[in-house]
Amino acid sequence: MDRWNNHNNFLEDSGRMRTATSHNKRQYLENYNTYIAPRLHTLEGNFQIWANILAAIHLPGTNGTQHADINLNLNPQHPEYDTTYRITDTRVSVLAAGCVWHYLEPVNNPAARAILLFRGTATHPAEYRDRKGRLNVEPAGAWADGNFKSVASFSYRVIKDRVFNWMNEQTAKGRDITAVGYSLGGCLAMRALKHYAEEKRPRWENSELYAFSAPGLDTKVAAEFTNLFQDRYTQLHTYWHVDDLVPVTGHYPITTPKAYSRIGPDGAVLPRIGVLHTHLLLFISVQEGWNVALAYPVAETPQEPNAPNIKRKIIGFMRRLPWGFFGTSLLSPVGGAIVLMRKYFTRRNVDDWCGHAH
């Protein structure tokens, strides 16, 4: 698979998988485990690709002896994590939510951590088919992004019971929880951990967070999150780019954040680019050998990215203007209605199923 030695080729092939058949998605995952997973050595390196790329493909579910297993390669190995995780279910909530998330359980070590993986906003959502052969399209996530009070403030309430029940099931099996998400998914991951901690469920204090380029929470919720994890913020990892506008919407709880700037393969600072390309957060590419523009850590302070700045104030004001609210919070359900119509009125070959029954 020499083609994936070029990082752009890997991204292009991954994007095409969103509309691929079940067979092609399984072949893609097999290639990922063989050629990409061994390149990665850190939790953040693996989880950034899981949250940004794999979570957006809608990988096929278990079908007989076939599974959606993802290898987790770490060097050095973390004993609390397994070497292979299975997507046991993918959940999609369209009406009043616009969220997609995945449940991952350990394959080789039953006592290892379980992983809750949230997808971010998708410009080109993945297609999949249910067990009845109906064509489905994941929601873009614009509704959750545009919740008026703060990002996903309403949407998470719609899905929280389903997420909470799964987390309860995992801790009952003696497993700790790691919540992972990219962009919108990072915000949902924070809300999931906050709700679980508020309920003081068993093992909640061992929870971990890996959020990439996530929008913040509303001020009150961020403060409550900080109070819950006040002695455990080193378990909460957030990654964001210094030129990225998303993390300055809302407020972060106290975490262990890492900010990044654009650095080229030769170590030279690249010119500022107006549009942030998400793959530039793959700072782990340095050790993996992908010859691409990289993001390099420039800060690690618990106060970031909440430091007062005019950019935060402008963005916070604009997203609450009438046209911003109506454009994202009221009009986006039209897209959700189209998704549901395609689900119930478009039928395909049932053998081409490439998703889960929801």
Q: Which tens digits make up the pLDDT trace of 2-35?
A: 888 777 788 889 999 998 988 899 999 999 999 9
Q: Spell out, as residue ranges, where the chain has pLDDT lower than 50.
A: 262-289, 291-300, 302, 320-329, 331, 347-358
SS (H, E, C) the chain: CHHHHCHHHHHHHHHHHHHCCHHHHHHHHHHHHHHHHHHCCCHHHHHHHHHHCHHHCCCCCCECCECCEEECCCCCCCCCCCCEEEEEEEEEECCCCCEEEEEEEECCCCCCCEEEEECCCCCCCCEEECCCCEEEECCCCHHHHCCCCCCCCCHHHHHHHHHHHHHHHHHHCCCCEEEEEECHHHHHHHHHHHHHHHCCCCCHHHCEEEEECCCCECHHHHHHHHHHCCCCHHHEEEEEECCCCHHHCCECCCCEEEEEEEECCCCCECCCCCCCCHHHHCCCHHHHCCCCCEEEEEECCCCCCCCCCHHHHHHHHHCCCHHHHHHHHHCCHHHHHHHHHHHHHCECCHHHCCCCCC
**What residues does each domain of the chain span?**
2-352
**What topology does CATH give the domain 2-352?**
Rossmann fold (3.40.50)
Within 13 A of 134's CA, how many CA atoms are on the CB side?
15
210/214 Cα distance (integer angstroms): 10
165/160 Cα distance (integer angstroms): 8
Q: Which tens digits make up the pLDDT trace of 48-96?
A: 889 989 999 999 877 778 889 999 998 888 999 999 999 999 999 887 7
For residue 94, the model assigns a pLDDT of 82
For residue 137, the model assigns a pLDDT of 87
For residue 344, the model assigns a pLDDT of 54
For residue 140, the model assigns a pLDDT of 85
